[in-house]
Each structure stands twice: as C-alpha cells, then as structure tokens.
Structure 1
Amino acid sequence: MTIDLNPDIQVRKDDQGRIRQLSHAQRQYHPVAADMLAAGVAAITGPRALAEQYLRDSAHLYDFAAEQTGNFAAAISAGPTDAGVELRFKEEKAVGSSVTVSYDQTLYGLPIWRAGMTVRVDGKQMGVTGSHNTAHYGVQARRPAADARYAPHRMHVDTVRQLLGLAGDAALTVSATRALIYQYRPADRLDSQLAAHDNPTPSTGVGGRHAFPQLPLPPVPAEIVADTHYVVTEVLFAYRVEGWGLLNWRAFVEPETGAVLYLRALVACARGRVFASTPVSAAGQVLGAGSPVAELDECATLIELTGLSPIDPQGRQELVGEYIKLVDLQVPATPFPAEKAPFAFEYQANTRNFAACSAYHHCDGVFRLIQGMGIDVASYFNNTDFPVQVDPHALDNEVNAQAPGNAMGNGLGRLVFGVAKQGTQFGIAADSRVVWHEFGHAVLWEHVDSPNFGFAHSPGDSLAAILHDPGRDNNLDRFETFPFMKVSADLSRRHDGDITQGWGWFGDEWDPQYGGEQVLSTTLFRVYQAAGGDSDDKAEQQFASRYVSYLILKGVGLLSFTTRDPDVYVAALTEADSTTDLFEGHPGGAFSKVFRWSFEQQGLYQPPGGDPTKPGAPPEVDVYIDDGRHGHYMPYLADHRGEAEIWSRTQQDGGTQPQTPAPGVKSFAYVRVRNRGLASATGVTVRGFQSRHAQAAVWPADWKPLGTSVLPLAAPIPPGGEAIVGPFPWTPANAGDSLMFMASAAGDRSNLEFVNAGPISNRRLVLLDNNIAERKF
C-alpha cells in the first residue's frame, strides 16, 4: 500500500516543492503484507528488505518512476551501460539499534555524486523512522566514447600531472580511478575552505604561513556548461604540499576534454602529565601557551595513560596503543618519549614531550569516551585503520591542527597537530577542545565521505563546548569555545551566536564552513542547556552533556550524504534519540522536540521571504501547556512543578481561579491547552495522572491515571488559540500531591505516547516536552 501523508508524518520540501525528507518518528512505517507479496517479497528479513519495501511504497511521494525502484540489488558498473536512472544499494550500517540503509542514485549504472536515498530503521521494532532524499531530477548526461582519452583506465601518473598543472617530475601517486556522474557547479569546483583560509579572522581560527592546499588548475574550457551532468573520471591520488605533508586528493575529470571539474584535498583543519581541562591560574585567570611555565605546570594533572601496547624488548613503554600511534609524519622531525619503569611520562608543559603525551591521551580518550557511550568504535569507524596515526609535532611552528582523510576519502587518515602559540614548543594537542574539533571531521569522513556537513564545517565545536561545560569554572567565559586558544593565539570562536547579529541559519555570518559551525554549536549547546546543562546539579549537567554528545555522534552515523539543509541532521538527531532504548538509565524518545525547537530559535524553518535575524516558524501544530515559558524550552526551570496552567476547584463549576484542594476531599482539575503552531490543532486529547505520593519523581511508577483519565476536544484549537479542558475529578491523598497532564494532537503527539520503555524522571519528561506539565498542590 502506498504511503499517504498525514499529520504524523513530518515533511520537508525543497524550493521546487519536491519532498526531500520524511520523518516517521511519531508513527513508524511498517509494511502491509499484501504489498510485500505484490512486490515478490515473502517476508521482511532485515533492515535492507524493509528499506526497499518502504522505497517502493513512498516512490510516488518522492516522484520516482517505477524503474528507479526496481533494481536495488544491481552492482555499480565499472563503465557506462544502457541502464536508466535507478537506485542501487550502497551500504547498511548500524549505530546501536538504529540502522541506516542507503542507496546510490545511478545513471548508466554509475553513481551520481552524492545523490541517492537514505532510509533510517529502528532495528528493534523493525520500523522505518525516516528517509532523506538527495536524488537529482531530470538527469541527462552524454556518454563519452569508450576510448575517451581521459577514461579511468587511461589515467596514468603523467596524465594526471598534466591535467592538474603540475611539473612533469612532481611526486604523485594514483590510488584509484572510477567512472561516475557529476553535476558541474562552478562554485563547487574548489573547496569552500579556501575562502576561510584566504581571509583569516579570529573567529574562523584559520590562516597562517601555509595556504590551504590547492593545485594550479587550468581553467575549464568553454564547452563545459554549468549545472550540467557529466560522466566523469574520479581520480584518487596522493601528493605532498608544503606545510601539509603527504595528502590524499580527489579530482573529477571530464573524460574527453580533460577538464578538472572538481578538486579537493582530503583534509580539514582548525587553527588555532596533561591538562584535563582549560588551565586556570590560582588567581582565576585563564592561562595560555605564553603563560608562566610554573603556573601551567600547576594546572597539569597526573593521569593514567590507557590502552598502551606492551613494553618493547628494551623495557621501554612507547606512546602506541589500541586506538592511537604517535608517528613522525611531518616536519619538524622530533623523537617521541619512551619511558622505562616506572613509566612516568611527566614533563614540563612547554615541552614537546608534554605535547606528545597530551596528543596520545586526548586522542585516545575520544575513542574511549565513544566506546563508553555504547557506540562500537570498530563498526562506527569501519573505514578507518587503527591505531590512528597521530603526529603531535607537525606543521612547522604553525598554530593549526588537521584531520586528513584516508586514501579512499571515506574514513580518517591521520591527525596532526602544530603549536598553540608560534615560537613555542607548546603543542596545540594539549587543548582537548581542539582535539574534539578535529574529531568532528573524523566522524564526517567516516559517514558522509567528506570532512564537512555541507551546512557547517563539522560538529567538532559543538562537542568541544558541550563536553567541557559540566562543572564549569565560573572564571571562564562559558560561551568561549576555545578559551585556552583565545589566550594563546587570539583564536575566538563562540557558541552563543546572536541571531539578530547575523548568527542564524543562513544569516550574514553563516557560511558552510566556520560560520556555520558556530551557528551549529550555538544551536546544539542550547539543546544541552535545555536538557539539564543549565541545572545547578552537576550530575544533571553531566548527563545532559554525555547524552546530547551521544546523539550528535549517533546522528552523524545515520547520515550518508552531505547536504546544505540542516533539517536533515535534525531528523537524524530525532531518530537517534527515538531508537535509543536506554542511555545510562534514561530511555530514548524524549529529546526530539527540543532539537527541532532549538534549530527554529536559531533561524531555521523560515517562511518564504523570512528574516534570518529572527527565529524561524514553529511546527504546523504545536500544542502546549504553558509552564511560564510560553511553549518554549528555555530558561531551564529548577522547579518544573510550580507555574503550569493547571488548577483545581472544590466544585465542578468551570472556574478559572485556583482553589486549594484538601486531602481526602474530591476536587476538580482543569488545564488550559494552547497552540503555537501554524495550523489548527485537530484531534486534541488530554490525559491526566495523579501522583501516588507527594514525593513522586519517576514516570510511570509514581503515577496513576485519574478516574476520568482522557478528555477529547470537540473543536480544533486555531493557531495562537487556546482551550480549557476539564473537569477531571480527583481526590488528593496527601498535601503536596501532584497532577500531570498530557496534551496530544494529530501531528504533535506527546512524548508519553512513544517514549521508550523504562523509567524516566518527571523533570526530564516535563521539561523536554511542552505537551506535558506537572503541578504540585
């Protein structure tokens, strides 16, 4: 049965009105047996079979012809065939119980670059939670002659040198070639990171003596037409660039003219005993690489270096382990520390050995933290070779760090770090926030074959900010993303971007690189704040930090293609949450509305002609019970039980003034439901629950349904409108008993309807869903 759109399916369309994303988080898609039989499918045997039935059932929504969904199992062709436009299986990957199944869109049997379909599956319930469409429409491309001069099998080293404008003796190695389809866009011919590096500013944190890597390409000939699809030859090659060392590259070459239509160095960078966190002096000042060594040393912490390989035959312990291996990859050539018993890697903070120890500890710690969150490192990074090579002494006195991709451009190649301040030996890897920034590129290499999202540089700044905030030092500027680097090298990036000053999605300060990264980190940090980061309870801060970081990482793992639309990542974050059973005792399924709201507050979801200096539009339907925040999720409420529009009356009279209920005496509760959405809320129902005791803290154990537990509304609630629902008869057993109410509407279901099994604290349940409110009497 074909899928029909309904309010419980969230739809995202492009400017041409084509559907680019469907979210089924509120009601998963499950196939109908009769449709499976009609398609010749006896039973759903796994996520891939489910994804393919889903694609057949949704083809009419995505405007796919029947033949496009009829050849999923066909392999990618080595060269052009007679095949038309099709979807062909690309990969299946799992992150926890979430499974992503992706399909390349092909023409002539060749993949269209970064075009296809992604289907996200809840592997436990075997239901589809969402899909993302990057397919191209109206694709036409002339097939080149089989013996074209620059066909894949003819791309020898000398030919590649000539096409790239390099000298005949340039040291270049061709790693692989293949044919694919590419839509040529002049603005995308060169890396957008070039602009940031050509115009360095403190907020981008880039620049320096060595320009971003680029090659002297000849101009594109006049016969190459912009926005046209071409069969091209992809060339993956290795070539050394001054200041960057040996890099892997990707080039797309038109096989008859030899025009290079696309060129990328597979690299991303952030400018810029161990420091466990940002060093702060006894006087409360943030220290930098130029601060007195004695003060820096006082801030260093003696920690255990984990995962190290066994000692060598000489009885020395080297900084090589399960995840990380220190390797001298670039100038300057510097030996690494190796210690005999008692294996004490204790050095002054301004030495190269301190930098080496820091690089090992912080890089190793990133992978261990991920493993500890329940994400299997080996499967999440299945294209990355371990141990990852790390050079803590690279870049020849540059304030910089890099995360180059591997030879195939589908995983992390290595990590290299320069200095935190020029003219010093103080390694930038001593700042764990910088390491997390680089790691943001590592996860993107692995899952979208690029160091960048497309709408932002990476999630690295977000992870750095969120993971370092709990237990914050009040002497720090909380919203300075890299406080150590701000003092050391005047690198200033922030995660409190003011939308009115251009720091909104697609505002004046946004760009697809570092500007977008600061917009993204502002957006995601707000999610962390709303989820408990603004609590005074350090344990609640730590939970919010770890779970939001987990969802950031899991969400990246559910992507398959880069995109300019941040809402694709919003959907992935939502599904990452909904498919999490338990995270450190917390059930998944409660965070989706906060993610959507935070992106809205940062200017996403603008109506046509909207103002990017203002928040975007709310959802179509957004019913809520006001707790003093008018349907929003900030500020964080230390007590979530005091302001909600829930009241009790001693008589069933419909009055709106609260009256104090008496234990053992029947009372009557009312609740006001509002709608901040764009459309009328239909099918509204309200459910009520009473606490079993005055200290009720956990759902569902501490709650019981009211005698009249459900009341439906006869009429819709218009946009900006409200309705009073009641009475709900109840009898308090004790002073201090609470009532909890939940409102649901078509297209805006309360989290109580689908939060995953397992106890959840009342505080999180209420503060993360404006459909739910609690009032203590």
Structure 2
Amino acid sequence: MNLEDFQLENDDHGRVRLINHNQMPISMESASPLQAAQKYLHDVAGIYGIDAAQLTELFLAPERMPIDAKVSFRLLEDKRVSGSAVVSIVQTYFGLPVRYAGLDVVMATDPLRILSSSATFHPAIEVKAPKADSVKRAVKLTSPELSEILNQKADDKTRRPPVVNRTRLVVFRYQERDRQPHAPVKRGDRQQQKQLFTPPTLPLPPLPDSIVDGNFYVALEAYFTLSVPGFEDLHWVALIEVETRTILLLEALIDGVTGSVFLTDPITKSGSTSNSAGSTTSVLNGFRDSITLLDLNAPSNGTQALSGSRVFVSSSNATSPTKTSPFDFQYDSRTNDFSAVNAYHNCNRFFGMLVDMGFSLSSYLDGTTFPLKANHRFGNTVNANCPANSTGNGIGGVNFELADTSNTSDPLGSACDWRTVLHEIGGHGILYDHISRANLGFSHSQGDSFAAILNDPLSALTGSDRFITFPFTLFWDEDFAGPRRHDRAVATGWGWGGSNDNGAYKSEQILSTTLFRVYRSIGGDSGDLNSKAFAARFAAYLILKAVGLLTPTSAAAVNKTGVTDFAPCTDYEQKLESADASSFVSANPAETHAGGAYGKVIRWSFEKQGLFRASGDPVTSVGRPPAVDVYIDDGRAGEYQYQWNHWNCQDIWNRRAADGGSAHEEPIVGQTNYAYVRVKNRGSQTANNVVVRGYHAYPSVGLTYPDDWIPMTDVLLVAPSIAGNDSAGVVVGPFQWTPGEVSHECMFFTVYATGDPANVDGRITGSIPEWRLVPHDNNVAQRNVSPVPGGGGAQPLKAALSRRPFALYNPLPGEARIKLTATLPDFLVRLGWEVRIVSAGGSNFGLKPGIRKEVLIDVKQGGDFTREMVVGSADTLIHVTAQANGIIIGGMSFNIDPDMKYSVVSGDGKCMHDLCRIDVEDLLKCASLEKAKRVRVRKIVLEIDYEDDSCK
C-alpha cells in the first residue's frame, strides 16, 4: 500500500480521522468483506494510531454485561448496499460498546476493493467500573423506575407511564451541550407564521457533582415510548448512568386506485410564485394530476381504503377517506381528503423510487416495519415530522401538518408538497435505519438536497427562483430571514466552516448547495429534460447509497466537536465517492451504468463550497484542489462545471511532422502522424512521475472506453514533472500514430501522476461510455475536431463536407431513440448554408445498444465567403451533436480554418480529391514523379465524360 496513492484527513490535533482510497482502490483477495476489513485494519493501524493488540477481537460481538477488559475493537455490523459493503467496528471498554465510536471500512464487492475508512474511536479513554449491583439493577429497568428517573409525578393520573422497548449497556461520553436539544430563539410574529420543527423535551433534574463534562460512564441506553402534549406515543432514547441513575442524554426520536394529487407543487409546475399555498381552491385545483394509486390493498367488502403494502393513511384529527366502486379518490385541493391521497401517494412514491433504483426495502430499511403510517393531519402549523420506531433503528411514521395557515377552514396539507415528503423521509427517515438518529453529525440532514435535485428537471422556475428549495411550503431556517435555498455563497459565510455552518438548518443549505452542484455538473445544467432527469436520478441514487454506507461508527454520524472539525462532513463526501465506485444497477428501468465516473466531481463540489481549505485560509474562500491535480484543459481550467461538448479539447492536436508545431493539422491516412497534448497542474504540489497515454478511433460518436479505442504507436510517454499551480503546463509529444480511416479520426488521452491517477487507472475496472467518462475526469480528454477549409471560399468547404462519414454507436444499456442536431456558425447561417443528415433514417432513428450505424452529413451551399469573414467570426465550429433518449452522448465538430484552402484527405484516402480551386504547384506535390528531372507547366487539358444528364 503506497501512501502516495490515497488521501488522509487529520483533525485539529493532527490525528488521522479518514483515509480515502477512491482514486486507487485497494484490491483484496480475501474471501469476505469482513476478512478484508480485518486485514486492512491491521495494515492501517499505525496510521490511525491503534495498538495492534486491540484488534484481536474483530470477529466478536460486544458483550451485554461488563467484563474485565480495557480498550478493544469488535464487530458491530457487516452490511451490503447495492454492490458495496461496509464493515462497522465498534470501540469497546469492559467489552461494552462505546456509543458512536469505532471504525468503518467501505468496499466495492465486485471485485472486492477497499474504498475508504473512517475513525471515530477515542484515543484516550478511562472509565470507572460501576458496582455489580448497580449494573444488575440497571438492566432490569421497569416502567415505574423509568418514570421516577424521568422525574414524572407519581400522582399524575392523566399521563400514561413510559413503556420500555429496548435496553443495552454502553460506555458513553457525557457532554453537557448535548444533554437535550435546544429550542430555537423565538422571533415574535414571524415565529408564529413560519415555525421550525423542534423536538419536544422533558424537564430533567440537575446532575450530581460526580458527573463531569467530557468524562466516560457506563450507562444504560433505554429506548422507550412516552406520550407528551401534542405527540401521542412518541419514541425516545435516554442514556442513564448506572451508579447515580441520572440521565446523561434525552432525545425524542423525531424530526422534521385513481386519485388527484400534486405530482409537483403548483409553483414548481407553473414557474409563478403567485400560485402559492395561500391560493384559493379554484386556483390550486387547476394543478392537480389524475393518477393511478399504486400498491393498494384489495377493497374490503367493496370499500377501498388508502392502505397498501408500504403505506397506510390514518389520523385522529381527520378521518382518512374511503371509496366504493369506481374507487375514484378525487377531491378539492384545500381539503383533508386531498391531503390524505397525497400522503399515501407521495410516501409510497418515495419507497417505490428506492425499489426502482435497485435497493431492497427489506435490507436498506431493515429496521422499518411496513406498511408505514402516514398521518395526513397531524397539527395546525406549517410543518411535518418523521419519528423513529420504538427501538430507534427504523422509521416509525410520517406526520404531515399544513402547507399554509391563512385558511385553516379549508386546509391545504403539507403532504401535498413532494418536496416536504423528500425532506422528511429522505432526510430523517432513512437515517434511523443506518445510524439510529434523525440528523447527520454536521448537518440537519440531506433532505433538502433530495427536494432540490429531484424537483429541478420538471421545474418551470427560472433565474434565482430556481434555487428556492421549498417555493410552495416556504420552509425557513433558524433566523426566519427567508426561505431555504440551494445556491448559498461561500463568500457570505455559507461555506463549510463559515459563519452559517451551524450543524443544523443552515448547514443543510450548505449541503444542498454542494450536492445540487454535483447534479448540475453531471447534467442538471443541460437544456434537455432527459439529461436533467438522468442526472437527478443518478445524484439521488448516490445520496441514498451513501447514507446506506453509514453506520453508527461513521464520522458523519458523530456530532462535530467544533467549527474546525471537518471529519464528519469529509466522511460524508467520501461515502458519496464510495457510493459511486460500483455500478448503478437499476431495477426499473432495468439497466446498468458503470461506476467510478463521478468521484472527482463530488470532491470538487465540496471543494467549491469551502471544504479542503488549507490551514490559515479564510472561511469565506473556496477549498483547495487536491495537492496534485494534473489535467488536460478542455476549457474549464481543470474544473467540472457542466459542459455539453466534451469532444472539443483544444489542448490536443495533430501534426503531420514531428516539428513541435502548435496548430492542429488534419491527419493523413496511412502515414505516420504526430500527436501532442498539453498537461497542466492545478494542485499546489509538484506533479511527479507524469505518464500520458494516447489512443485513437474511427471518427465516431458514442464511443466506449476501452473497447473502441486503439493505442497509438507511442501509447505511453513519460512527461517531466509539473510545478504546482502551473496553468501554462508542459507539452508532451510527439506521439507517433497512423490513422487507418478516411476523415478525421478521434483522439483520446489520459494522464497519470503520483497522487492523481485517471479514473481509468484503477477506479473504473470495466467499460464506460465516453459521455460519462470524459467530462467528469480532468485527467482525460478527447478531440473529435476536424479542420475544414475556410481560406478558399465556399467551394472547398462544400467539397470537404460532401457526404462526410462518421460512425454512431448507442452506448446506453437499452434501445434508444437517436436524434442528430447540426449547427453552423452564425456567419454561414446568414449566408444561407445548411447542414443535413443524408444517411438512412435521417436525423432521427432508433438504435439498439452497442450497434454501430454509419452516418453521412452533407451541406447545402449558401453564399460565398472570404478568409476575412472567417477570421472575424466569433464562432467557426460546425457541430453535429448526438442524443440518445435525450442525453448527449457525443458529437463531431468541424473547425473552419482560415489558413486552410482545401482538404488533403479524400473519400478513398488519396490526396486532393476535392473539387476546389487549388494551385498547380500544390497539385504537383502529390503527383508521382520519381524520375522527373524538371517540370514546366505549359498546358493542362482536362476531359470529363458524363453519363446521361448526371452533371450537377
């Protein structure tokens, strides 16, 4: 294991908290993930500062009763999530688990490779052994005893006693600030209008002097159910110190057929903020969608209820509607019944989305019992919440209140807003199953990110309004200064570690801005709906899988210790990288997308929001690139903003001689050509051991790596070291290669440096289409750009593009509808030129996966032009772009070169075939005159015999 091939994340004390292997995963030959984790942890024990003697019990489970033992590490969990595995190792003392402390190891399973690990164990821990009698009494906790500990009055006959659901002994570090959640500061009338959900609390007695902030104690972790005003049968967890029987922590486990529904809220659908939640019934009714309600149970005695295999709707405040045949659940929008139908559909919709993405509900949500209760009318404020189950390891239900309080006589429920459902179940609900708590250690949740990403493709909102996370329900943050957004600027305190990074709702906006940037980069900023939808679904899948890779010992699950503790956030970033490492195997539609493409985009997105700063950098600045970050510049300076054209890299070029020239020349078929590439470094450290590899391919669109790429004759060249922050770069070449096909072949390069491999150097182990590989790895670049003559006027350009061929592949998993779009520079459009697809099928046709189709383009000649017109044009590129099911999969571009009078490549591979004006001297250069001593041109006679009237 080479230390230069992975990244370490240290805390303020210099202690290693995270190790990221995603760029160069470590292959393991072990028989199981657990065995791989055991070997790996022994290998990295020194890096983490672990005594190897403490790793001898990794296969043992923690004890239920204390034993005579100090620090050790034992197995907490070994789980599988969609092509990945995570092994959670808990730190123990007296054989008891130390709560939220230990190690986790994340792996891809096919093949078995280590992707990342994190450490949350306490390096220095001392615990006073409790008396044996105190331990025995603690584990026999009864309901009356818990009532006494909770300081409930014995004579209070109106309150039901708590019900003890589950207990276990743990070692717990008491921290005064976390004993109970804090309520937000009230802000007068604004607090009444826009409430934030605050979990309920109970008054606790003061702690005895023996309890010291920061010390460790043996405690009973007790999950129990207790009703309080406004919350019936609410589930709680308490940490009770076994000697004094005092509460060290108390937390409520809650946080924020056909029928008519809002598939998207009226503001998102219309793009107009006037269609708000305060609108009248007649206005809102116009935005209802009639759908089939899925997964319902069969009618009982002819009556259909909103009850199915995954969700049932019930509320003590408003009876859930039922219907007889024809079972038509159609209601006005401002009614409790409409909210009930939306509650059923949207909750079932979320779980259906998980299943469609390939997750198994029984394993991904293994602590949740289905069907789940959805309460469509829980209260009377603008809010919703998602409680845990009785044991704290699954979802207990979803409670919806109102979306608007301006007219409670005609109520509009918050269940009608899909964004709200995504925040509650996708934000808090799924966390219960994986970390047994409602919140991340550094952010309120990832729920706002789901709301922002999954609603963007179909949103009609534009400009700044696009970035309002809840435009309809208008959820605010702690300051009630405005609606939550996902375009927060680092410069104004919205970066990681900035003034607004509070670990709660403000940090959630920092996270949603970060993850929305991932979505935008991989297609969300496309103008095409299908590209946006693909990007949204893939981004949501990665977030879901990253949460599935969390365990109670993950750094992301543990509250940050201070503003400079970036380990929880960085661990979440690494979990996202690890989630991307293996293939996305979708169930509906049934298709597989290669993994490993988006790791660098994810890292960059967090960097742009202020993570990965250097020590001393201001918190209003973005983060730093990786220490070594070599790249081939495609116009984005090594970054990852969305770019629709990934095949036009100008830092790749061809020469017909090894002369070091910098102008791109059209290759000559069958002869040795010479390719060059410029490599730069946006990292702060010198890039060493730089290696560049070159490939070429038949002129094609929709290529797949490595299948369609042929190594150049000089497949590999070693480059000189590249200094840090070198935006000028070094030229590597010449790469000798021999084009084998007529027309301009595609060129493809990858660059490796120690500490910065290309994704194809180890992260990606199989085939991957160019449209997912090239734009998302700055170590990879492609040029499908052919120069065409612009210095000789109209006739040479027409000749160069006459029936110009290229191949097209469908790289998608299934049959796709192909659409070809050709665009011309403005100056040619004004002159009346047109580009046409003249091959069979024209510009729109179906194509099965992996099938190659020959495409021919042609031009309709317009007015003549001069070299000066080309030089004066801001755009000189002719583009032919290919979309498969709406997703841009590649293209060919033709650069009109003002210094090129004619093309040197003919349809049959010979010189100067074009019907254009050329100099005789140039013509003779191509003539076969080996025995000629001298040539003088006296007369040229050309005779052409045409058949019939075929002359055009």
What TM-score results when the alignment is normalised by the length of structure 2? 0.76
Q: Superposition pairs for residues 29-44 of structure 1, below 5 Å?
A: 29-30=26-27, 44=30
Distance 1:759 1:715, change over 3 A: closer
Is 1:189–1:263's contact at 8 Å kept on the other side of the alignment? yes
Determine the C-alpha separation between the residues in 2 that align with 1:283 and 1:718: 46
Shift in Å at residue 69 of structure 1?
Answer: 0.6
Tell me the secondary structure at the aligned position of residue 148 of structure 1: helix
C-alpha separation in 2, matches of 1:203 and 1:12: 40
Matched, 1:647 2:633: no
Query: What amino acid is the match of 1:743?
Result: V
- The match for 1:96 among 65, 72, 82 is 82
Secondary structure of 1:277's counterpart equals coil
- 1:28 and 2:25 matched: yes
* SS of corresponding position for 1:364: helix
Q: CA-to-partner distance for each residue in 1:690-725, whole Å, 9 max, x for gaps?
A: 131244544344432222111112435444362210
For 1:101 and 1:202, the matched residues in 2 are separated by 46
**Aligned-residue offset at 1:202:** 8.1
Q: 1:82 & 1:411 partners in 2: Cα distance?
A: 33
2:135 maps to 1:143: no
Q: Does 1:386 align with 2:370?
A: yes
Pick the aligned partner of 1:516 from 507, 530, 554: 507
Cα distance change on mapping 1:748 and 1:149 into 2, 3 Å: closer
Letter in 1 for 2:226: Y
Distance 2:441 2:188 in 1: 20
Alignment of 1:720 onto 2:726: yes
Q: Are 2:693 and 1:687 aligned?
A: yes
Instruction: In structure 1, give the amino acid aligned to 2:751.
Output: A
Distance apart, 1:668 and its partner CA: 1.9
Match of 1:185 in 2: 175
Quote the Cα distance in structure 2 between the aligned partners of 1:691 and 1:656: 22
Partner of 2:451: 464
In structure 2, distance between residues paired with 1:339 and 1:736? 66
Q: For 2:273 and 2:187, how far apart are their aligned partners in 1?
A: 31
Query: Which of residues 340, 347, 369 in structure 1 aligns to 2:353?
Result: 369
CA contact (8 A) 1:644 1:773 kept: no
SS of equivalent to 1:147? helix
Q: Provide the C-alpha distance between the structure 2 equivalents of 1:158 and 1:297, rounded to a whole number of angstroms.
A: 52
Offset, 1:399: 1.2
* Residues 20/346 of structure 1: CA separation in 2 closer, same or farther (3 Å cut): same
Q: Which runs of 5+ in 1 are unaligned?
A: 33-43
- CA distance in 2 between counterparts of 1:414 and 1:607 reads 43
Instruction: Answer yes or no: is 1:253 the counterpart of 2:237.
Output: no
Question: Per-residue deviation at 1:121?
Answer: 2.0
Structure of greater Rg: 2
After superposition, the Cα gap between the structure-2 partners of 1:28 and 1:760, relative to the gap in structure 1 and judged at 3 Å, is closer
Q: Which of the two has greater strand per residue?
A: 2
1:586-597 to 2 correspondence within 5 Å? 586-597=593-604
What is residue 174 of structure 1 aligned with on the other side? 164
Q: 2:295 aligns with which of 298, 307, 310?
A: 307
Q: Indicate if the aligned counterparts of 1:239 and 1:247 stay in contact, CA closer than 8 A.
A: yes
Q: Secondary structure at the match of 2:201?
A: coil
Report the CA distance shift for 1:305/1:674 in structure 2 as closer, same or farther (over 3 A).
same
Label 1:357 to 1:643 Cα distance change in 2 as closer, same or farther (>3 A).
same
Instruction: Determine the C-alpha separation between the residues in 2 that align with 1:109 and 1:126.
Output: 30
Identity %: 37
Which residue in the other structure is 1:530 paired with?
A: 521
The separation in 2 between residues aligned to 1:174 and 1:71, in whole angstroms, is: 31
Q: Look up the match of 1:773.
A: 781
Correspondence for 2:391 among 397, 408, 415: 408
Out of 67, 80, 94, the position equivalent to 1:108 is 94
- Checking the alignment, whether the CA contact within 8 Å between 2:395 and 2:432 is kept in structure 1 is yes
Aligned partner of 1:19: which letter? V
Q: What is the distance in 1 between the residues matched to 2:193 and 2:10?
A: 35
Q: Following the alignment from structure 2 to structure 1, what is the Cα–Cα distance between the partners of residues 360 and 255?
A: 24
Report the CA distance shift for 1:145/1:200 in structure 2 as closer, same or farther (over 3 A): farther
1:484 equivalent in alignment to 2:472:
yes
The answer to whether the 8 A contact 2:23-2:763 is kept is: no
1:475-509 deviation digits (Å, cap 9, x = unpaired): 58211111111399997111101111111112111
The 8 Å contact of residues 271 and 459 in structure 2, kept in 1 or not, is answered as no
- In structure 2, what residue type is equivalent to 1:737? E
Q: 1:105 to 1:197 in 2, by over 3 A?
A: farther
Q: Helix, strand or coil: the match of 1:248? A: strand
Name the SS for the 1:174 alignment partner.
strand
8 Å contact 1:92–1:101 — kept in the other structure?
A: yes
Helix, strand or coil at the partner of 1:379? helix
Are 1:226 and 2:213 counterparts? yes
**Which of 531, 535, 541 is the matching residue for 1:540?**
531
Cα deviation digits, residues 354-373 of structure 1 (max 9, x gap): 00000000000001011101
From 408, 413, 416, the counterpart of 1:427: 413
Q: 1:149 to 1:552 in 2, by over 3 A?
A: closer
Conservation of the 8 A alpha-carbon contact between 1:200 and 1:206: no
Q: Tell me the CA shift for residue 51 of structure 1.
A: 1.4
Q: State the match for 2:493 in structure 1.
A: 502
User: Which residue number corresponds to residue 14 of structure 2?
Assistant: 17
SS of structure 2 residue aligned to 1:526: helix
Correspondences of 1:556-635 after superposition (within 5 Å): 556-561=547-552, 562-563=557-558, 564=560, 565-580=568-583, 582=585, 584-634=591-641
Alpha-carbon spacing, 1:51–1:755, altered in 2? closer, same or farther (3 Å): closer
Partner secondary structure for residue 567 of structure 1 = helix
- How many Å separate the matches in 2 of 1:723 and 1:460? 44
Partner of 1:79: 65
Aligned-pair RMSD on alpha carbons?
Answer: 2.5
Shift of 1:643: 4.3
Cα distance between partner residues in 1 of 2:192 and 2:82: 34
Contact 1:326/1:391 (<8 A) preserved = yes
Deviation at 1:540, TM superposition (A): 1.3
Partners in 1 of 2:254 and 2:67 — Cα distance?
A: 33
State which of 3, 18, 30 in structure 2 corresponds to 1:6.
3
Matched-pair contact (CA < 8 Å) for 1:696–1:703: no
Q: Kindly indicate whether residue 750 of structure 2 is the aligned counterpart of residue 764 of structure 1.
A: no
Structure 2 partner of 1:398 = 381
Q: What secondary structure, in the 3-state scheme, does the structure 2 residue paired with 1:566 have? A: helix
The Cα shift of 1:451 comes to: 0.7
Matches within 5 A, 1:212-291: 212-269=199-256, 273-280=260-267, 284-291=272-279
- For 2:207, the aligned partner's letter is V
Alignment partner, residue 845 of structure 2: none
CA deviation profile, 1:618-652 (whole Å, cap 9, x unmatched): 11211111111111111x22212234312222321
How far does residue 20 in structure 1 lie from its aligned partner after superposition? 1.4
2:905 equivalent in structure 1: none
Q: Please, which moves more after superposition, 120-129 or 503-512?
A: 120-129
Range with greater deviation from structure 2 (149-158 or 677-686): 149-158
Deviates further, 315-324 or 18-27: 18-27
Deviation at 1:90, TM superposition (A): 0.9
For structure 2, the residue ranges without an aligned partner over 5 or more in a row are: 561-567, 787-952
Shift of 1:277: 0.8
C-alpha change, 1:577 and 1:166, in structure 2 (3 Å) is same
CA distance in 1: counterparts of 2:643 and 2:190, whole angstroms: 35
User: Compared with structure 1, are the counterparts of its residues 206 and 702 closer, same or farther at alpha carbon in structure 2 (3 Å cutoff)?
Assistant: farther
Distance 2:39 2:242 in 1: 37
Does 2:332 align with 1:335? Answer: no
User: SS state of the match for residue 255, structure 2?
Assistant: coil
Deviation at 1:204, TM superposition (A): 13
Counterpart among 643, 668, 674 of residue 674 in structure 2: 668
